Amino acid sequence: MASSTLICNTEPWKDLKAHVEEIKKTHLRDLMNDTERCKSMMVEFDELFLDYSRQCAQKDTLDKLLELAEAAQLKQKINRMFNGEHINSTEDRSVLHVALRAPRDKVISSDGKNVVPEVWKVLDKINEFSERFRSGSWVGETGKALTDVVAVGIGGSFLGPLFVHTALQTDPEAIASAKGRQLRFLANVDPIDVARSITGLNPETTLVVVVSKTFTTAETMLNARTLREWISSALGPQAVAKHMVAVSTNLTLVEKFGIDPKNAFAFWDWVGGRYSVCSAVGVLPLSLQYGFSVVEKFLKGASSIDEHFYSTQFDKNLPVLLGLLSVWNVSFLGYPARAILPYCQALEKFAPHIQQVSMESNGKGVSIDGVPLPFEAGEIDFGEPGTNGQHSFYQLIHQGRIIPCDFIGVAKSQQPVYLKGEMVSNHDELMSNFFAQPDALAYGKTPEQLLSEKVPKHLIPHKTFSGNRPSISLLLPHLNAYTVGQLLAIYEHRVAVEGFLWGINSFDQWGVELGKSLATQVRKQLNASRTKGDPIEGFNYSTATVMTKYLEAKSPISSDPVTLLPKA
């Protein structure tokens, strides 16, 4: 593709660039007075309510963004994704996470083959296995039923399942089905994470689920070997068959590791790691904890958004609208970051998950055809639940840099609390902030207002809020397995929309490779220096100096290493 076909060379892109000047003349304080405008910037689907009236945008901004979508062939790209074409061109793969949550009778093909029956074969296997596990008919080496699960995995094999697990932990239905069980995660190769993940657990009653798409990820494999050692040193090496199972696309390596292939749960190369929570990656550990029927609701929620995304016209399409507005903020208004602010503690792991989905997908420097981009793609995502974030980084958002914010609220709390004599329930107290913050950002506070409030003159600059800071508000009816699935799919597709508009490949991740290969070189050096006293060679002065300092610290590894497990 010639650079002339880059999206930034199209008329709609140039038109939007020119449009920025008009928008800069507006202020949200005034735009919010236009009720018709606000009405046109609200969309409801399946009880999800999106209000994007606090975007620095006019109705014609949306029209122009829709023209950009057309120039980027957004509809065709979405269709190509759902049709199983190899849109991940650098890895020559389809991108079919939508097939993971498709109903049984749906036909979604990759390379001429309907993949939905394969998906359901694995789901049925998980259903059956989790029933055996939860009913106590699957027993461990000493004949005891297993109650605790440690899921070992990193990146996409960790963040999505952690997000969903955390979101359901306080859901009444999920609580009831998780009684007496624990699901823990071990991601970091830091041995401290090993210690934390097994503290208080008994190998006799623990199942380890090794989750890795490739089954080669250094961190996961070392952690898996560590927990294998933890099990076999306590129960004997034969116990591994009953206490370890795996989720992977690489079943050959699973078997080599010593896990019974009968206890391996497959997925496919057309599922990207960060899009894999709806595969066995998430479904297995979550079903062990909450039962398959709860997890099935999560899949149904995601599927409802898939259908909406595929078939709804763009001006009513939640992921499309959100994606268009993100591109508007990043590429035209020049706001490179986004804060994800759920007013719901159960969503505390949502931002970390979306960080990977978004930043690993769209943090690219070239177009899908390898042409260097003359504009920045991707956005910097971060976030914390409200109100905690308000007492931390909101200062910068209110008076410092402009960071478009996603306010996510829930109408009914999973855990309602009301104290007699209090003005409002605890959830209403939380939600008072959910409603207040977007307006504070949009309206700000002028020096005139401060003067009329008799604020001392010297404090006026400090107490002024410029306002005109964009946000969206998304209200969910409640937070349960179904709506968690919806939320996940909205963000997954929003990220895809952004990538489709920028003309990049959102489904590869070559940028993570360089650091990994350099670590291999360091690993070899550390081994040679520790065991043979070899001098440090082949590193630059800076790295060599700090490595020398590091090696000077006492290590329990000598020339005759012995196995050492955490004391936890």
Ligand X SMILES: O=P(O)(O)OC[C@H]1O[C@H](O)[C@H](O)[C@@H](O)[C@@H]1O
Whether residue 391 lies in the annotated active site: yes
Whether residue 516 lies in the annotated active site: yes
Contacts of 541 (CB under 8 A, 6+ apart): none
Whether residue 537 lies in the annotated active site: no
Which of 130, 212, 361, 473 is in the footprint of ligand X by CB under 6 A? 212
| Rg of the chain in Å (alpha carbons) | 26
Which candidate in 14, 59, 516, 524 is catalytic? Answer: 516
Among the candidate windows 77-85, 153-161, 320-328, 386-394, which touches ligand X by CB under 6 A? 153-161
CB nearer ligand X, residue 213 or residue 243 = 213
Which candidate in 391, 412, 478, 524 is catalytic? Answer: 391
β-partners of residue 450 are: none
How many residues touch ligand X (CB under 6 A)? 14
CB nearer ligand X, residue 249 or residue 304 = 249
User: CA neighbours within 13 Å on the CB side: how many for 128?
Assistant: 9
Burial label for 560, CB within 10 Å (0-12, 13-18, 19+), is: exposed
Among the candidate windows 14-22, 47-55, 208-216, 261-269, which touches ligand X by CB under 6 A? 208-216
β-partners of residue 44 are: 49
In total, the chain counts a number of residues equal to 568
Strands 109-110 and 113-114: antiparallel
Which of 122, 154, 239, 295 is in the footprint of ligand X by CB under 6 A? 154
Q: How far apart are CA 360 and CA 23, in angstroms?
A: 31
Which of 53, 58, 61, 157 is in the footprint of ligand X by CB under 6 A? 157
Among the candidate windows 25-33, 89-97, 152-160, 286-294, which touches ligand X by CB under 6 A? 152-160
| Residue 359 interacts with ligand X (CB under 6 A): yes or no | no
For residues 402-435, b (16+ Cβ closer than 10 Å) or e, as one string?
Answer: bbbbbbbbbeebbeeeeeeeeeeeebeebbebbe
| In the complex, least distance from residue 226 CB atom to ligand X, rounded to whole angstroms | 15
CB nearer ligand X, residue 272 or residue 301 = 272
CB nearer ligand X, residue 99 or residue 210 = 210
Amino acid at 384: E
SS3 496: helix
Among the candidate windows 61-69, 127-135, 211-219, 368-376, which touches ligand X by CB under 6 A? 211-219
Strands 471-478 and 48-51: antiparallel
First to last CA, the chain: 56
Residues 377-436 that bind ligand X (CB under 6 A): none
CB nearer ligand X, residue 304 or residue 356 = 356
User: CA neighbours within 13 Å on the CB side: how many for 58?
Assistant: 12
CB nearer ligand X, residue 159 or residue 295 = 159
Burial label for 515, CB within 10 Å (0-12, 13-18, 19+), is: exposed
| In the complex, least distance from residue 521 CB atom to ligand X, rounded to whole angstroms | 17
Element (H, E) at 440: helix 426-443
Q: Cβ distance 472 to 407 under 8 Å?
A: yes
| Residue 155 interacts with ligand X (CB under 6 A): yes or no | yes
CB nearer ligand X, residue 265 or residue 394 = 265
Q: Cβ distance 294 to 282 under 8 Å?
A: no
| In the complex, least distance from residue 221 CB atom to ligand X, rounded to whole angstroms | 8
| Residue 506 interacts with ligand X (CB under 6 A): yes or no | no
| In the complex, least distance from residue 159 CB atom to ligand X, rounded to whole angstroms | 8
Which candidate in 296, 360, 384, 498 is catalytic? Answer: 360
Which of 110, 197, 473, 509 is in the footprint of ligand X by CB under 6 A? 509
| Residue 156 interacts with ligand X (CB under 6 A): yes or no | yes
| In the complex, least distance from residue 217 CB atom to ligand X, rounded to whole angstroms | 3
CB nearer ligand X, residue 69 or residue 246 = 246
Q: Cβ distance 77 to 21 under 8 Å?
A: no
| In the complex, least distance from residue 492 CB atom to ligand X, rounded to whole angstroms | 14
Element (H, E) at 50: strand 48-51
CB nearer ligand X, residue 291 or residue 499 = 499
| In the complex, least distance from residue 288 CB atom to ligand X, rounded to whole angstroms | 18
Among the candidate windows 39-47, 79-87, 148-156, 344-352, which touches ligand X by CB under 6 A? 148-156
Which of 274, 297, 364, 398 is in the footprint of ligand X by CB under 6 A? 274
One-character DSSP codes across 379-395: -EEE---TTGGGGTTHH
Lookup: tokens for 206: 């623990």
Which of 148, 193, 360, 508 is in the footprint of ligand X by CB under 6 A? 360
Q: How far apart are CA 539 and CA 51, in angstroms?
A: 53
Task: Report the alpha-carbon angle 52-58-61, nearest 5.
Answer: 95
| In the complex, least distance from residue 187 CB atom to ligand X, rounded to whole angstroms | 9
| Residue 152 interacts with ligand X (CB under 6 A): yes or no | no
| In the complex, least distance from residue 78 CB atom to ligand X, rounded to whole angstroms | 22
C-alpha separations of 282 from 174, 331, 339, 487 in Å: 15, 34, 25, 15
| In the complex, least distance from residue 155 CB atom to ligand X, rounded to whole angstroms | 3
Q: Cβ distance 509 to 360 under 8 Å?
A: yes
Q: Cβ distance 469 to 32 under 8 Å?
A: no
| In the complex, least distance from residue 8 CB atom to ligand X, rounded to whole angstroms | 28
Q: Cβ distance 320 to 498 under 8 Å?
A: no
Cis upstream peptide for 387 (omega within 30°)? yes
Residues 213-272 that bind ligand X (CB under 6 A): 213-214, 217, 220
Q: How far apart are CA 56 and CA 386, in angstroms?
A: 23
Among the candidate windows 107-115, 209-217, 393-401, 560-568, which touches ligand X by CB under 6 A? 209-217
CB nearer ligand X, residue 277 or residue 479 = 277
CB nearer ligand X, residue 273 or residue 404 = 273
Catalytic residues, by residue number, are 360, 391, 516
Where does this chain bind ligand X (CB under 6 A)? 154-157, 212-214, 217, 220, 273-274, 360, 509, 512
